């Protein structure tokens, strides 16, 4: 063995089905952990509440993104078509009442900017893209995409303790409890 020092990522515990995971998640939540996550092969309704996850702040970003798109489109169309180079089409006025003609552009840019904000905001908040995740070091974890359910509690969490956290996971029904080490470096 080498002298390499690896950082502990946290504990990983395996559960057999969704309802076990759900009940275990409620207990981990009630124990006051903040930095932990559930892994399941498919989405489980109501797991957000069981995990005590707060609403994301993403919608506010999207609203601001959409508003930016809306204003950009209006300023772009209005300043060019009415201000800089008034374009007369079908004898229609080039003034504030021309705005009706800009609505499609305003609509499109609102959608486009909110779409971009959603995508990039989401990636940013989730910390994606990334090359690797410490949990991939665990052999059993690959079954999270097949037939097993997992809870991982990170060592970064203020409440984490090598003994008590392990005991908690065992108590709430976790099997194959494994201390995962961050081997990425």
Partner 1 sequence: MSHFVTSKDIPTNGEHLDKGKLALPKMVTGGIAAIGLIGSIAFFLFGSGSAHGSYAFSWLFALFFVLTITFGGCFFTLLHNLSNSGWGTSVRRLMENLGFVFPFMILFAIPLLFHDVQQYLWEWMTMFRETVGDSKNASEALMHSADPHNHLLAKKTFYLSPGFWHFRFFFYFIGLGGVIWLLRKLSIAQDTEKDPGVENLFKARSYSSWGMIIFGVSMTFLAIDWVMALDFSWFSTMFGVYVFAGSALSSMAVLILTSVILQRMGYLKKVVTPEHHHIMGKLMFAFTVFWAYVSFSQFFLYWYANIPEETRYFILRNTGNWNVLSLCLVFLHFGLPFLLLLRSDVKKKPGFLIFISCYILFVHLADVYHMIIPERGPSVGLVVDHQAQLWLNGSFFGDIIALVIVVSGFLFFYLRNLGSAALYPHRDPRILESANLTN
Residues that bind partner 1 (CB under 8 A): 45-46, 49, 59, 63, 90-92, 100-101, 103-104
Residue in this structure with the two tokens 């009706």, named with its chain if needed: 100
Name the minimum Å distance from CB 154 to partner 1: 27
Shorter beta-carbon distance to partner 1: residue 73 or 180: 73
DSSP string, 152-171: EEETTSTT--TTHHHHHHHH
Give the three-class secondary structure for 148: coil
Shorter beta-carbon distance to partner 1: residue 102 or 160: 102
Name the minimum Å distance from CB 46 to partner 1: 5
Name the minimum Å distance from CB 160 to partner 1: 29
Shorter beta-carbon distance to partner 1: residue 45 or 185: 45
Shorter beta-carbon distance to partner 1: residue 4 or 55: 55
Name the minimum Å distance from CB 139 to partner 1: 34
Answer yes or no: are the C-beta atoms of 62 and 115 closer than 8 Å. Answer: no
Answer yes or no: are the C-beta atoms of 81 and 94 closer than 8 Å. Answer: yes
Name the DSSP class of 158. T
The string over 60-98, giving b where at least 16 C-beta atoms fall within 10 Å of a residue's C-beta and e elsewhere, is ebbeebbebbbebbbeebbeebbeeeeeeeeeeebeeeb
């Amino acid at each position: 063995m080498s002298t390499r020092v690896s950082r502990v990522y946290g504990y990983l515990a395996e559960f057999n089905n969704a309802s076990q995971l759900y009940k275990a998640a409620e207990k981990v939540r009630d124990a006051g952990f903040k930095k932990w996550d559930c892994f399941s092969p498919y989405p489980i309704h109501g797991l957000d509440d069981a995990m005590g996850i707060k609403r994301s702040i993403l919608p506010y970003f999207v609203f601001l993104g959409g508003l930016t798109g809306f204003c950009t489109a209006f300023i772009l169309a209005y300043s060019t078509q009415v201000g800089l180079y008034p374009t007369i089409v079908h004898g229609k006025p080039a003034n504030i009442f021309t705005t009706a003609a800009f609505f499609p552009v305003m609509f499109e840019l609102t959608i486009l900017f909110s779409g971009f904000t959603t995508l990039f905001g989401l990636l940013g908040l989730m910390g994606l893209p990334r090359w690797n995740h410490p949990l991939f070091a665990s052999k059993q974890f690959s079954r999270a995409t097949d037939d097993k359910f997992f809870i991982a509690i990170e060592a970064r969490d203020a409440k984490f303790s090598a003994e008590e956290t392990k005991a908690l996971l065992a108590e709430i029904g976790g099997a194959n409890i494994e201390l995962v080490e961050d081997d990425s470096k």
